[in-house]
Amino acid sequence: MRNNLLNLVVLACLSILVYLNSFGNQFVWDDENFIVRNKLIQQDQPTPKYFLEGTENLYRPLRTMLYSATYRVGGLNPVSYHLVGKLLNALTVCVLYALIVLLFGSREGAFWGALLFALHPLHTERVAWITASYDILGDFFWLSAFACYVAGKRGVGRGYVACSLLLFFVGLLSSETAAVTPFVIILYDMTLGREKDVVSEPNARPTGGAILSKFVWIPYFVILSGYILLRFSVLGIISRTGESALGLGSFGIFVTMSGVVAQYFKLMLFPWPLVPIHEVEQAAAPYSASLLASAAGVASAVVAALLYLRKRPGAAFSFLWFFVVVSPNLNIIPTGTFMAERYVYLPSATLSFFVALAFLNTSGRRRVLLAVGCALVAAAYFAATTVRNKDWRNEVALWASAVNADPIGTNVAVANFSSVLRSSGQSLEAEKILLNALKENPRKIFVLMELGEIYLESGRLDEAERSLRKIPPHSRVQYRIIYDMAQIRIKQGRYAEAEKMLGDVLEVHPDAPKTFISYVSTLFAQGKPTWPGHFIAAYAASGNIDFLANLANFYLLSGKNATAVNIAKIGLSVDPSNMLLKQVLENAARSPK
């Protein structure tokens, strides 16, 4: 017991220490959507409301509640969010240690396996990036659920199975990736669980393991089914994107994701280069030799592991763990993203299991050498992770690191780096980077879109339109292209055309605020008397006070200052801290009477 406690303390401390230099990192990437501009977490909400709304087509109410609780304590100070994320990671490392001890019975192997997991540079995106670190909440709960199941089946104590079911449900409400829990349990029961079930005496009362023997999986699937129904009732969709993975077809997805899996294993063993967005070769006939080789290799390895379920249960479990746990992100159900380092956080525990197996099967001098080797790898991991943390310190550093790792850069990384430069007033530098990327591939969708928007901002409307028209039909960006084309028409004074374009976008995305405001501006510019009603209806439907602020601004533009002031005062009576409404009053005071 003392050894376990000491190991847990060391693991927890090192799990936090390795990320200590990331506490000064700013909000980056999707932090803007999920935290900085997320009204749901910044306003007092009745608890049930968290369970009745999604964010960005995700249903993670407990994660949203944790965001809100952190906001109550620290506001928009990134340090408080970093602290929560690092603590979640440390707790998960401790649960992983306990799980490895349960699975393999080796405290030494569990320590080194969990330590390498805690320090692995591949996990930097998951832990150093605030939004991704809050997803560890779901990882912690479902991993704890599985550990409790194993403990219950081993007869460690009563109540573990009930605790497992509760943790599983809580995990689902934190992140949909917890859905893997029943499948991990099945994998365990077919491998390590088969040989290590509790065996009762003939006349003894049934133990936890015996009770679980027959209908053990049913409650988990009942809970999972209930969660899917709840998620669908709130979001109206099962998958986040609601579309297939770019129309590749089943075989195309298998071949493409086999290439991704091969990259994941390479990064687990040799974690370089680490970038926020990886270029993924998408399968298309005739399939490339590298993709076909990856598909054949992955399929052969999985089949071999299945054949050795009974002969080598420990190795089979350790290897197949990766595939079961990463499965939610293999685009079986479309996610909209082919590859991301954060997706292999818990799947990479497969390395920890193999380390534990290695200690289990060695002794004496070989075990000492194995421990020394693990210590050297851990030291290298520690150094690499602390360096990688710096890439996440701000938006410029993040996307600069991605482009520096590949001067041509990935489609999205180059576009994002350009967007960051553009927002900081470096549009000329951003344009150069985009044009350089297009030399390698003149059909990069996001690069062309970003270049078109730079031209649009600088008033080079013909160049903007030419750039946007080079983009082929693409479901992920087509409505943004229509929006940008509408902005060109507005600048050209062709308001009726812009109205039609923006109306088409709003039919598909009725909650897009920028599109809505642009649409109303076209009505205003054409002198159509219906424009105020659109703002009022939008406010009535959503309760978003910003719609009243925009209504007041439009009245200011039309010279009706008194009306604008009255609307702003009404809005401030509802939301006294609204900066947009305060700005309306300031602008009205400065404008001519």
CB 31 within 8 A of CB 131: yes
Please give the Cα distance from 536 to 513 (Å, whole number).
14
Helix or strand or coil: residue 206? coil
Please give the Cα distance from 50 to 63 (Å, whole number).
9
To which residue do tokens 């109410």 refer?
Answer: 61
Alpha helices by DSSP H, listed for 270-394, are: 289-307, 313-326, 349-360, 364-391
pLDDT on residue 63: 96
CB 276 within 8 A of CB 404: no
DSSP one-letter code for 336: S
pLDDT on residue 211: 45
To which residue do tokens 């579309």 refer?
Answer: 243
DSSP one-letter code for 22: G
| DSSP E strand stretches across 228-267 | none
To 5 degrees, how large is the angle CA 261–CA 390–CA 349? 35
Q: Tell me the CB-side half-sphere exposure of residue 469, using CA atoms within 13 A.
A: 7
CB 160 within 8 A of CB 149: yes
Please give the Cα distance from 334 to 253 (Å, whole number).
10
Asked, as a colleague might, if the bond just before 592 is cis with ω within 30 of 0, I would say no
70 Cβ contact list (under 8 Å, min separation 6): 80, 81, 84
Please give the Cα distance from 285 to 291 (Å, whole number).
11
Helix or strand or coil: residue 571? helix
Helix 313-326 to helix 181-190 angle, to the nearest 10 degrees? 170
Q: pLDDT digit string (tens) for 204-223?
A: 444 444 445 557 899 999 99
CB 561 within 8 A of CB 591: yes
pLDDT on residue 409: 57
Would you say domain 529-593 falls under CATH 3.30.1330?
A: no
Please give the Cα distance from 264 to 340 (Å, whole number).
9
295 Cβ contact list (under 8 Å, min separation 6): 254, 255, 258, 259
To which residue do tokens 């001890």 refer?
Answer: 101
592 Cβ contact list (under 8 Å, min separation 6): none
211 Cβ contact list (under 8 Å, min separation 6): 161
Q: pLDDT digit string (tens) for 239-287?
A: 766 454 456 788 999 999 999 999 999 999 999 999 998 988 888 878 8
Q: Which of 448, 426, 428 minimizes the C-alpha distance to 437?
A: 448
Q: Which residues of the chain have pLDDT under 70?
A: 1-2, 157, 195-214, 240-247, 407-409, 474-476, 592-593
The domain spans of the chain are 529-593
